[in-house]
Chains A and B, each alone.
Chain A
């Protein structure tokens, strides 16, 4: 050990006291830094938020007025993203956890998912631009943006679902198979219901990733200030709106308001997942 000389000078009891102070300090410093961010965003942003801000259109390119079209845009692209990525992610998780053995295909699939989850969001944005917007001629639209976000949310949903499926007691599935149920009957009637809270958590996490993302949609969703109706309408989700308001110095007040709305959305998502996980855990303990 590199610190053995130090060790000889400082008696273990004192070292223990010193380290306790350091641990407490780092815990408190981290908490303070993090609370400062949330606190400041709320301090500046909450006064801006009212019903008018939430439910009216922006005026004068965002200088005044509300953020209604951006809220709709955010929900719209996130909905598309989850609609596409949830079935694929859960299906893939079921395959990996229930059907596949350990072979080269499976290792390749895992490597693909792992790589996908570590690709920077701006690369997804570039791909979305080259593939959805230009190659598939979807243009700058909620569809292009939503599909790009779906690719980003996929590994999150896959990983969380797989963990929850694998953590199910194997004897459930064995019991079902022993009773003569087929593999799919077992998976659909026993495995999926048991893993549902975990799968839901995974989907919510994927949703959180999609709703917070801006770089991936910068060049795929357009930046229109209108409320998108059709799939091919351009839109401006909340994070993108915040980015544009801030970097172009349009309106700091509205930027803080938008930031606060985003933080509140994330808070709601976190609380929901925590409640779900808690309930799930209690359920498992009860057995």
Chain B
């Protein structure tokens, strides 16, 4: 084989590996839709999305309470994880002495890698009884789930935000300090605004993980299909619905679980589009803080 031919085939081979992610994503969408659409067709799109009852034994397939469950758990955990995570990121990038950083960074890295079932188990054994004693009820609730999720998404928010803050050019900071601003004024008015695109990325990554988390939530959320009246009520997330019932689902029930997957995919796509849009916008308006 001539050298030119070899070069040609290698380039095309590499192109093929590169295209594989498009092929995979297409296959995933085709198969989830192929299995899920029959349920949506036979039960009706509106009934499926906005139906309040999920009772496969009597042919009821409404996922609305689970959409609320997923969004509720996610929103609540972001409410806790975002402020703490951002403060911790600023601490690591700007305030902490090198020795503190040396302890915190590997810890956070390790925690980002710990399996979600370990967090779920931790919540099941420690947090659920704690909530039961102090707040009444069964202890399984939307709040309990969001605390566990908070712990799970903290490492992502901290590490990605920290990278964003660190990537701000040193000159910005020096200029601000040279003008007589205090360190906090510099952080508030110069460093943080410039790092916002990266910080938003970290929040969206955290949100994606929260919406997609499955087994840890099953272990602590109670999994009752209902629209929660308070954050202390048990809820079921979309992901949990699939994992709990797939083991014994047949016929249209099986299809309805794939249809639940379709709803999840759409939520993630909306998130991705939003992320790209925000990122782009902020890049234009703030400038300098490119990730």
The residues of A with any CB-CB pair to B shorter than 8 Å are 1, 12-13, 15-16, 19-20, 22-24, 26-27, 29-31, 33-35, 37-38, 40-41, 87-89, 91-92, 94-96, 99-100, 105, 108-109, 112-116, 118-127, 129-131, 135, 151, 154-155, 158, 182-184, 208, 211-215, 218-219, 238-240, 242-243, 246-247, 252, 255, 259, 262-263, 266-267, 269-271, 274
Contact = CB atoms under 8 A, between A and B. Distances in A.
A126 B32 contact: yes
The interface centre, meaning the residue of B104, B184, B247 with most chain A CB atoms within 10 A of its CB, is: B184
Given A22-B87, A126-B261, A155 B21 contact: yes
Interface in B113-150: 113-122, 124-126
A215 to B, nearest CB: 4
B268 to A, nearest CB: 6
A75 to B, nearest CB: 15
A154 B24 contact: yes
Contacts of A91: 13-14, 16-18
B171 interface: no
Contact of A182 (B3, B111, B243): B3
A122 B109 contact: no
Nearest to B121: A246
Given A30-B158, A151-B28, 8 more contacts: A15-B185, A27-B87, A30-B154, A115-B272, A118-B268, A120-B213, A184-B6, A212-B115
Contacts of A100: 18
Contacts of A37: 111, 114, 118-119, 122, 151
Given A24-B91, A127-B31, A252-B125, A31 B184 contact: no
Contact of A95 (B17, B95, B100): B17
B219 A266 contact: no
Interface in B95-118: 95-96, 100, 103-104, 106-111, 113-118
Given A115-B25, A126-B32, A247 B272 contact: no
B271 A38 contact: no
12 contacts: A1-B188, A30-B85, A34-B154, A91-B18, A92-B20, A114-B272, A122-B264, A215-B214, A240-B117, A246-B117, A247-B218, A266-B110
Contacts of A38: 107, 110-111, 114
B88 interface: yes
A27 B121 CA distance: 25
B212 A120 contact: yes
Interface residues of A, dominant DSSP = helix
Interface string B28-58: 1001101100000000000000000000000
Contacts of B118: 37, 41, 239, 242, 259, 262-263
A259 B126 CA distance: 14
Ranked 7 nearest A-B pairs via Cβ:
A120-B212, A91-B17, A26-B87, A212-B115, A27-B91, A95-B14, A112-B22
Given A37-B122, A41-B122, A270 B32 contact: no
A146 to B, nearest CB: 15
Contacts, number: 256
A212 B114 contact: yes
Given A33-B151, A252-B125, A116 B25 contact: yes
Interface residues of B, number: 89
A91 B6 CA distance: 16
A1 B32 CA distance: 47
Interface in B218-256: 218-219, 239, 242-243, 246-247
B88 A26 contact: yes
B31 A270 contact: no
A37 B49 CA distance: 37
Nearest to B35: A130
A216 B152 CA distance: 18
Contact of A123 (B28, B103, B272): B28
A167 B24 CA distance: 27
Given A158-B21, A212-B114, A118 B104 contact: no
B1 interface: no
Contacts of B34: 130
A15 B111 CA distance: 32
A269 B113 contact: yes
A20 B14 CA distance: 51
Given A27-B96, A116-B24, A219-B247, A266 B242 contact: no
Among B6, B242, B272, the most chain A Cβ lie within 10 Å of the Cβ of B242
Contacts of A124: 28
Given A37-B151, A184-B7, A122 B212 contact: yes
Most chain A CB neighbours (cut-off 10 Å) among B14, B124, B208, B265: B14
Given A41-B122, A255-B121, A30 B243 contact: no
Contact of B115 (A112, A129, A239): A239
Given A252-B125, A263-B114, A31 B103 contact: yes
Nearest to B271: A118
Contacts of A271: 106
Contacts of A125: 242-243
A113 to B, nearest CB: 5
B68 interface: no
B7 A262 contact: no
B27 A123 contact: no
